[in-house]
Structure 1
Amino acid sequence: MSVTRTPAPDWTGRVDPEDGPEAIRLHQRVQPGAKRAVIGFACDAGVKRNKGRIGAKDGPAALRQALANLSAPVDAPPFSDLGDVTVEGDALEAGQETLANAIADALADHERLLVMGGGHETAFASYAGLRKAFPQARIGILNLDAHLDLRLPGEAGGSSGTPFAQIRALDPERFDYLCVGYAEEANTQALMTRAQDWNVGLVSDHELIADPHAAHAAISDLMMRNDYLYLTIDIDVMSHFQAPGVSAPAARGVPFATIEQIVSFVLTSLDGARTKLALADLVELSPAHDRDGVTAKTAAVLARRVLMSASDAPT
């Protein structure tokens, strides 16, 4: 069992010089020293401990591949690739510590960082790194997910099902968590009761299907009372036919268009707001279970929005 830092791969893809200087794809916007950056967490340990379908370790590579050929918008900001934290075997805690430290270091030089998981155990490391970078800040957690992921760690330790319980244990007085898209049948009553006891904000998949804007008010409130927003997207929040390549496919799920709209709402709301989005992650992409790369393509569209949106850094 070991944890290593793997250098960033070379980004390659289609090039269309015959279409002129505006025919740019994302692989052509990767450059060292950019204000935006990505980092991967290649890990299966959390999903395995949570008795899910393993394969998330290959998620970062699949997401990079799906991102590479997407078109770059006009005036697209460049971004850096900081490589991967790779976890072998069951070295989850060491991997999370390494990732948290890498995130804290990266946020000293980058205005926004996108972490590519890995299972949702990535979230504990993401939050720990954000907290280390901004120890006095108020941080609101927005989780787009079918699952609350509030399980208590068992004998084996944390898992992809425990990150937000671990975050609360790490930072109990400042725990501010909103879960959007949860499925009632995918969460035990014990988890629902825990969420109520811990004042977790909840918007269900049923509510979002009935009204795609159902979470807007809760998201706005979360942003207004915090200095930083930590956005974490578990791809299994979407329907199984739009996201088959995940650890636990959703029987119902929230339509991709609704999730994309929520992400856009968050990014648009940052314009002129006091709240900053310094960190986001995308987790649970499991390429071994993907069909025709559908899930990777879905995740890549969301990643593109997070990476390419207008800057919200202080001026």
Structure 2
Amino acid sequence: MSKDLQHTNYNPGKPDHWSGRKISESLGVQYWYQAVVCKAISELKNLESGGFGLLGYACDEGVKRNQGRVGAVEGPKVLRGKLGKVAWHHETKTVYDFGTVLCKDSDLEACRETFSESIANMISNRIFPIGLGGGHDMAYAHFMGIKKACENQNKRIGIINFDAHFDLRPIEESPNSGTPFNQINSVLKKENKPFDYFVLGIQKGSNTKQLFEIAKAEQVKVVYAEECLSDKSSLEAIKSKLNAFIASVDTLYITIDLDGFSSAYAPGVSAPSPLGFSPDFVFNILGFLLNSEKVIALDIAELNPKYDRDGQTAILASRLVDFVVGNAPRSL
């Protein structure tokens, strides 16, 4: 039995997780639910490389520990539900659904370990991972999976986080959704490796003075929420900063915390704010980053269907996934 099938906190992809408008078979593939290929991680070696792999992170234990609004555990399920109904325009690309990693008995650590192992397996088999969260503690697991897959290549991994929060909190009792990048930094420090971290959308009212001091000490690159505008001059200024960051690393991991968006666009998150960025801004910058051909993996965190309005946040998340598949080079 392959290792991934021994995990009791992992369920492979299943066709019955995907549905959409019923159409005549003669029309071929018209929607995502018809195009997605459901597999288990154990089947990776038998698949054609160059595709995209969806992997759910059904966990909000980290959010609970961080005293946030729980409900993100349902994020992967609801995101798939909205994504299945999106029109399909990616004829030259393949998307696999590798299922979902579960947080059983509040065991966040085991959940992250399984997720990390699955991400490493995907990248090693030249599949572009797209994580579907779930709390933002997923970022630590995702990064560690990328790191493991790249360890023999000695690649410098840059992290770009669309987020209202630094998520650099020191661990006091146990890891949570506010500690992932602090944990990543700790791992890299032990190995004398640089911590290349760039955050877009930081809100001063959502981060303590201590967190700003940590970010400054660790030379974190920051763009504040009020700078994240969609006009030409603002976008060019941010792209200039990103260009320097992209040039300094070998590969990029992008993580999108939906609470970075204004709650006008994304009310269904664990920590909503009316002061975040717009979808126009994120799609523009995301397209720019994907065009660098250095992006190796991406995830979407903190989708909390419990507090969503008319599925608005889940629809936004589904369009982000659709955009990534449409704009990431097939060579990835």
User: What is the aligned counterpart of 1:253 among 261, 276, 282?
Assistant: 276
Q: Distance in 2 between matches of 1:235 and 1:122?
A: 13
Matched residue, 1:14 = 21
Alpha-carbon shift at residue 76 of structure 1 (Å)? 4.5
**1:125-177, Cα deviation, whole Å (9 max, x unpaired):** 0000000000121100000000010001111x110000000000011222100
**1:94-134, Cα deviation, whole Å (9 max, x unpaired):** 11111111111121223311011111100000000000000
User: What is the aligned counterpart of 1:145 among 132, 149, 163?
Assistant: 163
Equivalent pair of 1:45/1:89 in contact (CA under 8 Å): no
Moved over 4 A (4+): none
Equivalent pair of 1:143/1:180 in contact (CA under 8 Å): yes
Q: Give the structure-1-normalised TM-score.
A: 0.92
Matched residue, 1:126 = 142
Alpha-carbon shift at residue 269 of structure 1 (Å)? 2.9
User: What is the aligned counterpart of 2:85 among 60, 66, 69?
Assistant: 69
Q: Mapping of 1:91-130 within 5 angstroms?
A: 91-130=107-146
Matched residue, 1:305 = 323
Q: Distance in 2 between matches of 1:20 and 1:227?
A: 42
Matched, 1:30 2:36: yes
SS of equivalent residue, structure 2 residue 172: coil
Alpha-carbon shift at residue 215 of structure 1 (Å)? 2.2
Equivalent pair of 1:3/1:85 in contact (CA under 8 Å): no
Q: Distance in 1 between matches of 2:237 and 2:285?
A: 10
Equivalent pair of 2:90/2:326 in contact (CA under 8 Å): no
Matched, 1:158 2:178: no
Equivalent pair of 2:158/2:253 in contact (CA under 8 Å): yes
Q: Give the structure-2-normalised TM-score.
A: 0.87
Equivalent pair of 1:37/1:110 in contact (CA under 8 Å): no
Task: From the superposition, tell whether residues 289 and 213 of structure 1 become closer, same or farther in structure 2 (CA, over 3 Å).
Answer: farther
Matched, 1:224 2:242: no
Equivalent pair of 2:291/2:329 in contact (CA under 8 Å): no
Q: Distance in 1 between matches of 2:55 and 2:289?
A: 21
Aligned length: 306
**1:201-252, Cα deviation, whole Å (9 max, x unpaired):** 0001111137244421222222212111000000011011210000000131
SS of equivalent residue, structure 2 residue 130: strand
Q: Distance in 2 between matches of 1:64 and 1:74?
A: 17
Equivalent pair of 2:90/2:325 in contact (CA under 8 Å): no
Alpha-carbon shift at residue 25 of structure 1 (Å)? 1.3
Instruction: List alignment gaps of at least 5 residues for structure 1.
Output: none
Equivalent pair of 1:246/1:286 in contact (CA under 8 Å): yes
SS of equivalent residue, structure 1 residue 269: coil
Equivalent pair of 2:169/2:179 in contact (CA under 8 Å): yes
Matched residue, 1:183 = 203
Matched residue, 2:61 = 45
Task: From the superposition, tell whether residues 221 and 3 of structure 1 become closer, same or farther in structure 2 (CA, over 3 Å).
Answer: farther
Q: Distance in 2 between matches of 1:74 and 1:218?
A: 31
Whichever residue aligns with residue 119 of structure 2, its letter is I
**1:186-205, Cα deviation, whole Å (9 max, x unpaired):** 11111011101000000011
Q: Distance in 2 between matches of 1:18 and 1:28?
A: 10
Q: Distance in 1 between matches of 2:213 and 2:283?
A: 29
Alpha-carbon shift at residue 72 of structure 1 (Å)? 1.5
Deviates more, 1:27-36 or 1:55-64: 27-36
Task: From the superposition, tell whether residues 29 and 194 of structure 1 become closer, same or farther in structure 2 (CA, over 3 Å).
Answer: same
Q: Distance in 2 between matches of 1:192 and 1:307?
A: 34
Equivalent pair of 1:111/1:313 in contact (CA under 8 Å): no
Equivalent pair of 2:262/2:275 in contact (CA under 8 Å): yes
Q: How much identity, in percent, do the aligned residues show? A: 36
SS of equivalent residue, structure 1 residue 88: coil
User: What is the aligned counterpart of 2:217 among 186, 192, 197?
Assistant: 197
Matched residue, 2:188 = 171
